Amino acid sequence: MSRTSYIELSRSRLKNNIDYVKSYINKNCRYVMVIKGNAYGHGIQDLVPVIEECGVDYFAVFSAAEAEQALSVKKKSCDMMIMGFLDKEHIPWAIENGISYYVFTLSRLKESIKSAKELKQKAKIHIEVESGMNRTGFRSTDFDELIQLLKENKSHLQIEGICTHLAGAESITNYDRIQDQIDLYHEIVDYFRENGINPTYRHIACSAGVLNYPETQLDLVRVGISNYGYWPSNELRMRKLLAQKDFIDPLQAVLSWKSKVMSISNIPEGEYISYGKSYLTNRDSKVASVPVGYGYGFSRDLSNLGRVLINEKRVSVVGVVNMNMMLVDVTDLPNVKEGDEVVLIGRQGDLEITVSSFSDMNNSLNYELLTRLPHDIPRIVVE
């Protein structure tokens, strides 16, 4: 191991999760797996071929840079959409590579028409409409000009979708806001259809849409977090588990993150550990250093709070997490030695450190912790 830690990606767990989410979906609804944020930290280039083996043939990324990464490893027959950032310089590249993309400004639409004309190739676009999230999307004030441009340039455009994004479908507290979004979206689609604009796919559902609001499953769904084995919220997880007889979580975390014990020291009672004075030993202690710190994605917020697994036991982070290493209290592990496996996320024996347990400790989201995992940690695909 030349790097200080590595990430394992489980093929069978990924397949399990995709099959579980697909079990909610009609056969004629297209399944798009969202792989933005470096495939939620799992690694786009390592994971895309494995996702394809699990039967997915449409990917969604945020930017042209991510699309470029996916393009270098995906099968030609798989489709791809860019849901966010696309410089006007990259529009011809997207068109030539058959990549569809969101259009949420008139300037991007006009650039697309110009490039499509020059290339003599249709631009495949998803018209994003604003339904209440107030992030990106056309508002009704743009509709007249938008529809006119779409109609006038029919021969240069393929309207792959009309879409919107739900603002918090993972929590029941947003119920009324989500219902309003669904209603408004359908009104907008009707309006576009009445004006002769008929998209191939109507799409609004993310993981929480699919799992919580079956009516949001239209012609296509864009599913992210659940594929990787996480629930969009604890509330949704508990609701699904309570509805099952066996209470076994159907989603399984695809990712594990592991390192090794670098060194072990004996520290007498009454000594401070690491920078500052945040941790004072209350007994003669044995402390192991682990070569992973905040510079590698293990948040400094987990100082004196985080836990890792060593020798099939849960042990605590002591003192502040440093840039490149952390210290853990191994006083109660009689056989611990240099080189022993350290599990930062994942299983060892009967124990597991989950990403959500991190989130509980430092108030971050699953999404946030995963996407902060550095790109250069080696990823290894395991069964």
Ligand X SMILES: Cc1ncc(COP(=O)(O)O)c(C=O)c1O
Q: Which residue ranges make up the site for ligand X (CB under 6 A)?
A: 34, 83, 165, 206-208, 222-225, 232
Which contiguous run of DSSP H or E holds residue 208?
helix 207-212
Closest to ligand X by CB, 226 vs 281, is 226
Closest to ligand X by CB, 4 vs 136, is 136
Please tell me the distance from the alpha carbon of residue 210 to that of residue 150, in angstroms, as a whole number: 30
Closest to ligand X by CB, 17 vs 311, is 17
CB 345 within 8 A of CB 257: yes
Q: Is the dihedral of CA 138, 139, 143, 144 positive or negative?
A: negative
Closest to ligand X by CB, 159 vs 309, is 159
CB 182 within 8 A of CB 228: no
DSSP code, position 62: S
C-beta of 25: minimal distance to ligand X in Å? 13
CB 197 within 8 A of CB 150: yes
Please tell me the distance from the alpha carbon of residue 355 to that of residue 340, in angstroms, as a whole number: 22
Task: Count CB neighbours of 226 within 10 A.
Answer: 24
C-beta of 108: minimal distance to ligand X in Å? 16
Tokens 């590698």 correspond to 296
Closest to ligand X by CB, 84 vs 295, is 84
Closest to ligand X by CB, 161 vs 224, is 224
Residues written for the chain: 383
The C-alpha angle 132, 134, 139, rounded to 5 degrees, equals 80
The phi, psi pair for 163, rounded to 5°, reads -140, 165
Closest to ligand X by CB, 83 vs 103, is 83
C-beta of 134: minimal distance to ligand X in Å? 14
C-beta of 168: minimal distance to ligand X in Å? 10
Radius of gyration of the chain (CA): 24
Token digits for 233? Answer: 């919220």
C-beta of 82: minimal distance to ligand X in Å? 11
C-beta of 232: minimal distance to ligand X in Å? 5
CB 147 within 8 A of CB 127: no
The residue type found at 310 is I
C-beta of 149: minimal distance to ligand X in Å? 23
C-beta of 313: minimal distance to ligand X in Å? 33
Closest to ligand X by CB, 82 vs 197, is 82
Nearest residue to ligand X, using CB? 224
